[in-house]
Structure 1
Amino acid sequence: MKYEYTVSDYLLDRLSELGIRHMFGVPGDYNLAFLDDVIGHEGMEWVGNRNELNAAYAADGYARINGIAALSTTFGVGELSAINGIAGSYAEHVPVVKISGAPTTKVMDNGLYVHHTLGDGKFDHFSRMFQEVTAAQTFLTQENAAYEIDRVLLACLTEKRPVHITLPIDVYNKPASKPTSPLHEAVTDSNQEALEQMLAEITPMINEAKRPVILAGYEVNRYENREELLQFADKTGIPVTILSGGKGVFNEEHPQFIGVYNGELSAPYLQQRVDEADCIIQIGAKPTDSTTGGFSYNFSEKNVIQISPFSVKATEKKHAPITMHDALSALSGKVSKKDPESMDIKSLHEQLKSGTYEAKEENLQQNRFFERLSSFMKEKDILLAEQGTAYYGAATMPIPKDTMVIGQPLWGSIGFTLPALLGSQLADMGRRNILLIGDGSFQLTAQELSTMLAQQIKPIIFLINNDGYTVERAIHGENQPYNDIPMWDYMKLPEVFDPEGRTLTLKVETETGLEEALKAAEENSESMTFIEVMMHRDDKPDLLEQLSKRFANQNA
């Protein structure tokens, strides 16, 4: 019997209310009937992926631009294929709703040995696995569906982390009542008393500091506080640096921006300016080994004021609940503006003053490639940089105002950015998406190129072909066979995945060849542009060259 309004309708309406317009995933018999409702839902489009892991990566990329995403897979096999991608979203605070279609409640109550199970009559194995990598979990029934859907979605919104919903195939079509109020009404607010106590303690610390610095990170993006960060910087006059995971949270053309901090691997001025600061206002930043030169920062923790999404901490005292938005807004009105002369600000633009780039008839090298790519970038571009040579080349590459950068420096699952590109481009079709990915990473998730071509999206893909795992060779086993991969004829893949040939494919080996390819990419507005960039296998960006040695020592 088909009811007028069902549990499925309620779930899809809530997702739509949150701005989700695409559902990623892979069909299986335990979610097929639910997918009928996805396809029939006004404003929701089904995007079938080539496997569940890619679906999770695509949802992650979508959520980083859209604010939240959703994917659906079948029970057991589909869930576990997706769990690595969900774990990455959990590690890097990306809000994704994972919906798992499950067998009927009767089958589960009777402990039947059905397919996609472990054959032991137990059906909670996989939901328990997801408890470790999600902020909230639920098993929907007809009775609890509305309450539980709202509960886990609020957790997803508030914690900016994935949630897991188990939806039995005989529950999705049960009757439900329509929502009576918007979901976002319950989002956390700051406590006024805690806010006032924070201002009383923190304001004098910043005002009395002689050499303060702002160190921002990716949580500024997750909680959509870029404007508040900019306002705080403008009103205080304090110089701003970021960790590479936070590229895009602050305008790198701003006169107060002094560069991307990488501990001892930073430029001398930047390292000294941060490490010798007497007050470090750490905003949404989480130092990791890959973003701090292997934990080589030398500033004192006692000088750190940590502004997190829901708290402010200094001198071991935490003030909460206070949202990052309210903390920055309140401090902007209280902190006195610093004298520009005393702040010793050398903007990134000033530090990088150099000669004009001129292409040569020489083989491309990593550092030259990223130097040229920097000027190819445009305002509001979305740049995806795969873990490895691509990420560490892009990490310190200057980018224009309002550029968004997607990488995965903490979780570091190679192959992530190719499916993530599908998600980020679908999230905002009005922005140019550019992907930088190495050949080793590309081979892990290459089949998602097929989905992109089917969706007729038009990003620019730079495939850096350096004949294997260059980042791994740099850390250990330079000539070992485990760092080798089979050579593919990458230029033929777009045609294999799309026989209609709707892709501009180019191969580049020299600097002048790159110029021609960039010009062709600029002029191509009709299709995807796929550029294979040939590099020597031992050539590495400067940052990776130095960081790999630290990783090798760290792993010893």
Structure 2
Amino acid sequence: MSGNYTIGRYLIDRLAELGIRDIFGVPGDYNLSFLDEIMEHPSLEWVGNCNELNAAYAADGYARIHGISALVTTFGVGELSAINGIAGSYAEQVPVIKITGSPSTKVAREGRIVHHTLGDGEFNHFSRMYQEVTVAQTTLTASNATREIDRVLKACWIQKRPVYINVPVDIHSQPATPPAEPLLKEEAKIRSERLQQMLESLVPVIEQAKSPVILADFLVYRYHAEEELKRFAEKVGFPVATLSMGKGAFNEEHPQFIGVYSGKTSAPYLKKRIDESDCILSIGVQLTDSITGGFSQGFSGDTVIHINPVDVVYHDQRFQDVGMKETLNQLADSLSARDKSTLAITPVTEQDANPSAFYVETDQPLIQKRFWDMMQLFIQKNDIVIADQGTSFFGSETVPLKEHVTFVGQPLWGSIGYTLPALLGTQLADRTRRNILLIGDGAFQLTFQEISTMIRQKINPIIFVINNDGYTVERSIHGPEQAYNDIQMWKYAEIPAVLGANENVKSYKATTEGELEDALKDMIAHPESLRFVEVVMGKMDMPELLSELGKVFAAQND
């Protein structure tokens, strides 16, 4: 890079040190010269987005696969456009670095009435807003910059939540000293006495349990504990279930996997194993309404051992500074393996009493059940599956996934349209894996523009748009025939062409099982292309799980 070493270069070097290769965002006059430094950096690529909200969604998707991400916007208009996406990352504990280019320190100090402000001479309105959806914030100065950058980035990585860095336009070019030591030093060792206390207290409880079960969720993903979970489960032999936020954190083809738990809407066998367990090892779990059938879980809190990222809790005992990975490893080494016959596990792959071969009925109009049956066959080992909140999420929740499939959804924050820009992020985070997006037409209309960025980036995901003529989730809850649940019908299959599709983009429209089968075969034959398929189904046709949850949410809203 040209010139002397600067604060901007220091920040960018730290991003690269975290392994970030792609920076999302939208240019604006308060960040343009900082973007020049990004463009010059040998390890980073600028990914310009269609708008700042999409950039925040894309950064969220990138972080879920890579582990951390960053985006840059301009002050005021840009950062407020992005704040909804950052709030989703905060809610679902996704580490995203939000960088804002802002007016110069002189302009702010003098309180000038400049563009992208509220016209009152105050320059901290928006940074205060970000305090609610980030775990650390800073405004860089010439004297504090390197120290503050390190503090905030460490908080992002350790707490697995977004942070906010405000870079005045005159600060990034100020001189700085290059980093003298790694940003992330070796993690402190768990205090052995606390770990030993935890084992002495809980190992007897687990050993004495007659029907123990493991219930895992999304924090296993966030803290990268999938291998530790697998080792622990295989050592003790207990049945394993996940919640939908953590779907895929444990191999769903594994003989110990019994399903995705959703409270009273769970399959009977799964519901019985969880609700009647006398010892639930709850690993990285957060119970929310949309993943528990409206808080309909049937188990007692007295049976739960909570294994969290930084502590373990059982009844009134709390063992602090005991990490999830270390806890799982130590429990695996301390517990005896159960006899398989005493546990009598029926894996999810064997819970269908009358399995039958799937045959395509060529001229049969597509319905939800048959579509998801075909998706189960189409999704392959090592895929990344992204499902938007709605029919897509609740349909895919019940589809058993193959080994090493990563599942991405947003059931807690539940911002429709999130997944299409998130797909851009997940695919850029790992270009070697096949990415499959499942999104409804209502959600698609919010963020479809980012397909143009995918074309420009020359990536080849697979996009299924479920065209069921409106907001089917909302119809399931209230007002099935009300106009507010209607949307304008688009020619969805033609959208890629409007957005600049070239010979590397293939588009399809499927209204029957035969047309979908033909599209799936052609998509498999052309992995070098971005593939887009419009799937047409009835507006009141919905997955059985969504139909049940619609009733739950309707009652909850009364």
Q: TM-score, normalised by structure 1?
A: 0.99
- What residue identity is the alignment partner of 1:298? G
Matched residue, 1:507: 509
Matched residue, 2:204: 204
After superposition, the C-alpha distances for 1:71-130 in whole angstroms (9 at most, x for unaligned) are 000001101000000000000000000000010000011111111011111111111100
- What residue identity is the alignment partner of 2:341? E
Matched residue, 1:265: 265
After superposition, the C-alpha distances for 1:358-377 in whole angstroms (9 at most, x for unaligned) are 11121111111111111111
Q: Please point out which of 543, 550, 554 is paired with 2:545.
A: 543
Report if the CA contact (8 A) 1:58-1:424 is conserved. Answer: yes
For residues 537 and 145 of structure 1, the distance between their equivalents in structure 2, rounded to whole angstroms, comes to 54
Matched residue, 1:491: 493
Q: CA deviation at 1:338?
A: 1.3
After superposition, the C-alpha distances for 1:413-461 in whole angstroms (9 at most, x for unaligned) are 0000000000000000000000000000000001111111111110110
Matched residue, 1:337: 337
Matched residue, 2:9: 9
Say yes or no: does 1:372 pair with 2:374. Answer: yes
Q: CA deviation at 1:352?
A: 2.9
Q: TM-score, normalised by structure 2?
A: 0.98
Matched residue, 1:533: 535
Matched residue, 1:453: 455
Say yes or no: does 1:405 pair with 2:391. Answer: no
After superposition, the C-alpha distances for 1:499-547 in whole angstroms (9 at most, x for unaligned) are 5343111110111211111100100122100000000000000110101
For residues 385 and 189 of structure 2, the distance between their equivalents in structure 1, rounded to whole angstroms, comes to 33
For residues 175 and 19 of structure 1, the distance between their equivalents in structure 2, rounded to whole angstroms, comes to 24
Report if the CA contact (8 A) 1:435-1:460 is conserved. Answer: yes
Matched residue, 1:298: 298
For residues 138 and 171 of structure 1, the distance between their equivalents in structure 2, rounded to whole angstroms, comes to 13
Report if the CA contact (8 A) 1:265-1:543 is conserved. Answer: yes
Matched residue, 1:192: 192
Distance 1:141 1:203, change over 3 A: same
For residues 500 and 292 of structure 1, the distance between their equivalents in structure 2, rounded to whole angstroms, comes to 44
Matched residue, 1:249: 249
Task: Please say which of residues 507-516 and 208-217 is displaced more in the overlay.
Answer: 507-516
- What residue identity is the alignment partner of 2:544? D
For residues 16 and 500 of structure 2, the distance between their equivalents in structure 1, rounded to whole angstroms, comes to 31
For residues 172 and 246 of structure 1, the distance between their equivalents in structure 2, rounded to whole angstroms, comes to 39
- How do 1:347-362 residues align onto structure 2 when only pairs under 5 Å count? 347-352=347-352, 354-360=355-361, 361-362=363-364
Matched residue, 1:431: 433
- What residue identity is the alignment partner of 1:317? Q
Matched residue, 1:62: 62
Partner SS state of residue 333, structure 1: helix
- What residue identity is the alignment partner of 2:315? T
Matched residue, 2:475: 473
Report if the CA contact (8 A) 2:31-2:100 is conserved. Answer: yes
Q: CA deviation at 1:142?
A: 1.1
Task: Please say which of residues 347-356 and 242-251 is displaced more in the overlay.
Answer: 347-356
Report if the CA contact (8 A) 2:100-2:166 is conserved. Answer: yes
Q: CA deviation at 1:187?
A: 4.1
Report if the CA contact (8 A) 1:3-1:173 is conserved. Answer: no
- What residue identity is the alignment partner of 1:85? G
For residues 7 and 297 of structure 1, the distance between their equivalents in structure 2, rounded to whole angstroms, comes to 51
Say yes or no: does 1:136 pair with 2:136. Answer: yes
- What residue identity is the alignment partner of 2:246? G
Matched residue, 2:183: 183
Report if the CA contact (8 A) 1:219-1:284 is conserved. Answer: yes
For residues 12 and 190 of structure 2, the distance between their equivalents in structure 1, rounded to whole angstroms, comes to 30
Report if the CA contact (8 A) 1:154-1:187 is conserved. Answer: no
Partner SS state of residue 213, structure 1: strand
- Equivalent pairs counted in the alignment come to 555
Say yes or no: does 1:82 pair with 2:68. Answer: no
Say yes or no: does 1:156 pair with 2:146. Answer: no
For residues 287 and 478 of structure 2, the distance between their equivalents in structure 1, rounded to whole angstroms, comes to 24
Q: CA deviation at 1:357?
A: 0.7
- What residue identity is the alignment partner of 2:498? V
- What residue identity is the alignment partner of 2:372? F
Task: Please say which of residues 409-418 and 194-203 is displaced more in the overlay.
Answer: 194-203
Say yes or no: does 1:93 pair with 2:93. Answer: yes
Task: Please say which of residues 490-499 and 405-414 is displaced more in the overlay.
Answer: 490-499
- What residue identity is the alignment partner of 1:372? M
After superposition, the C-alpha distances for 1:28-73 in whole angstroms (9 at most, x for unaligned) are 0000000000111011000000000000000000000000000000
Report if the CA contact (8 A) 1:494-1:501 is conserved. Answer: no
Say yes or no: does 1:383 pair with 2:391. Answer: no
Task: Please say which of residues 189-198 and 228-237 is displaced more in the overlay.
Answer: 189-198
Q: CA deviation at 1:411?
A: 0.2
Distance 1:186 1:149, change over 3 A: farther
Matched residue, 1:415: 417
Partner SS state of residue 259, structure 2: strand
Partner SS state of residue 408, structure 1: coil
For residues 457 and 195 of structure 2, the distance between their equivalents in structure 1, rounded to whole angstroms, comes to 47
Partner SS state of residue 184, structure 1: coil
For residues 188 and 54 of structure 1, the distance between their equivalents in structure 2, rounded to whole angstroms, comes to 37
Report if the CA contact (8 A) 1:294-1:547 is conserved. Answer: yes
Distance 1:188 1:81, change over 3 A: farther
For residues 177 and 59 of structure 1, the distance between their equivalents in structure 2, rounded to whole angstroms, comes to 28
- What residue identity is the alignment partner of 1:345? I
Partner SS state of residue 134, structure 1: coil
Report if the CA contact (8 A) 2:455-2:501 is conserved. Answer: no
For residues 323 and 139 of structure 2, the distance between their equivalents in structure 1, rounded to whole angstroms, comes to 30
Partner SS state of residue 410, structure 1: coil
Q: CA deviation at 1:188?
A: 5.1
Partner SS state of residue 185, structure 1: coil
Task: Please say which of residues 73-82 and 180-189 is displaced more in the overlay.
Answer: 180-189
Report if the CA contact (8 A) 2:228-2:325 is conserved. Answer: yes
For residues 147 and 188 of structure 1, the distance between their equivalents in structure 2, rounded to whole angstroms, comes to 21
Report if the CA contact (8 A) 1:24-1:58 is conserved. Answer: yes
After superposition, the C-alpha distances for 1:444-500 in whole angstroms (9 at most, x for unaligned) are 001111111111110110000000000100001100000000011111111111153
- What residue identity is the alignment partner of 2:414? G
Partner SS state of residue 185, structure 2: helix
- What residue identity is the alignment partner of 2:119? G
For residues 255 and 48 of structure 1, the distance between their equivalents in structure 2, rounded to whole angstroms, comes to 44
For residues 124 and 192 of structure 1, the distance between their equivalents in structure 2, rounded to whole angstroms, comes to 44
Report if the CA contact (8 A) 2:383-2:436 is conserved. Answer: yes
Matched residue, 2:116: 116
For residues 33 and 211 of structure 2, the distance between their equivalents in structure 1, rounded to whole angstroms, comes to 61
- What residue identity is the alignment partner of 1:529? R
For residues 258 and 163 of structure 2, the distance between their equivalents in structure 1, rounded to whole angstroms, comes to 37
Task: Please say which of residues 237-246 and 521-530 is displaced more in the overlay.
Answer: 521-530
